[in-house]
Amino acid sequence: MTRIDARFAALRAEGRKAFVAYVMAGDPDFESSLEILKGLPGAGVDVIELGLPFTDPMADGPVIQLAGQRALAAGQTLKKTLALVQAFREDEDEAPIVLMGYYNPIMNHGVEPFLRDAKAAGVDGLIIVDLPPEEDDELCIPAQEAGLNFIRLATPTTDERRLPKVMQNTSGFVYYVSITGITGAANAVAGEVGPEVDRIKAVTDLPVVVGFGIKTPDAGREIARIADGAVVGSAIVDLVGKGRPPAEVLDFIRKLADGAHSA
């Protein structure tokens, strides 16, 4: 059982919905990023998604693209991201961390060494956008064997035929992408997302959280009502991009968390 499994079990027992926050590792720099990271559990974040900076994030909109560029410009690397997780783990052993990003930096590091180093640093799961089930042998299977959750994205284009394949090697939770599009684009519409979540729940017992297009505490509440949790990314990252200090970013995150938790 990973920290992710434990966290969702606890939330379920309490009858609460999960609030998931996405921040970019090393944005705007290592120290500020660590400060934000350390503040997340206290701000009410149940699961942390930590973005891996990449030069070519093809599923991300401008807000997260720029965050990655800021982090890379400040010298962030995959090794430093693992160091960031390790520093976070020094005084926090319960909040789950999921690394979210693209495959190339991991492949470059070497899959086996990466899994070993990530596990040792205190990472709990992976969301790798450009690894669909067709490429499961690359990282998904080795990650599960190494004791990390591999969390898959399901999307509006994932039809009935495909859904079982998408669920097959998924663990931890399922991330439903509420829109066809990139991060930070259109707004998620609870009325449309609800039936989709039900469709996924019909084929899996895993928790289903919804992300992409959720920008406010109210939107988070609406979505959390019809799912097991809501993810907010671009709206948070945008504040970091505007140069707001970590304390102010965390204040906003607290409001988002309260929104989702009031569902």
- Residues near other proteins (CB under 8 A) are 53-62, 65, 72, 77-79, 102-109, 129-135, 152-159, 162, 166, 177, 180-182, 185
Question: Considering beta carbons, is residue 87 or 100 the nearer one to other proteins?
Answer: 100
* β-strand partners of 101: 128
Q: Kindly state the smallest distance separating residue 88's Cβ from other proteins, in Å.
A: 20
Retrieve residue 212's tokens. Answer: 């992409």
Q: Which of 27, 46, 49, 124 is catalytic?
A: 49
Q: Kindly state the smallest distance separating residue 12's Cβ from other proteins, in Å.
A: 25
Retrieve residue 147's tokens. Answer: 């004791």
Question: Considering beta carbons, is residue 132 or 142 the nearer one to other proteins?
Answer: 132
Q: Kindly state the smallest distance separating residue 56's Cβ from other proteins, in Å.
A: 5
Confirm whether 49 is a catalytic residue: yes
**CA distances in angstroms from 121 to 44, 88, 93, 99, 185, listed in the order given:** 22, 9, 11, 12, 32
Q: Residue 88: name the closest of 117, 48, 60 by CA.
A: 48
Q: Encode burial over 141-167: b for 16+ CB neighbours within 10 A, e otherwise.
A: ebbbebebbbbbbbbeebeeeebeebb
Distance (Å, rounded) from C-alpha 48 to C-alpha 46? 7
Confirm whether 137 is a catalytic residue: no
* β-strand partners of 49: 22, 98
Question: Considering beta carbons, is residue 44 or 211 the nearer one to other proteins?
Answer: 211
Q: Kindly state the smallest distance separating residue 263's Cβ from other proteins, in Å.
A: 26
Q: Which of 5, 27, 60, 124 is catalytic?
A: 60
Question: Considering beta carbons, is residue 19 or 30 the nearer one to other proteins?
Answer: 30
Q: Known catalytic residues?
A: 49, 60
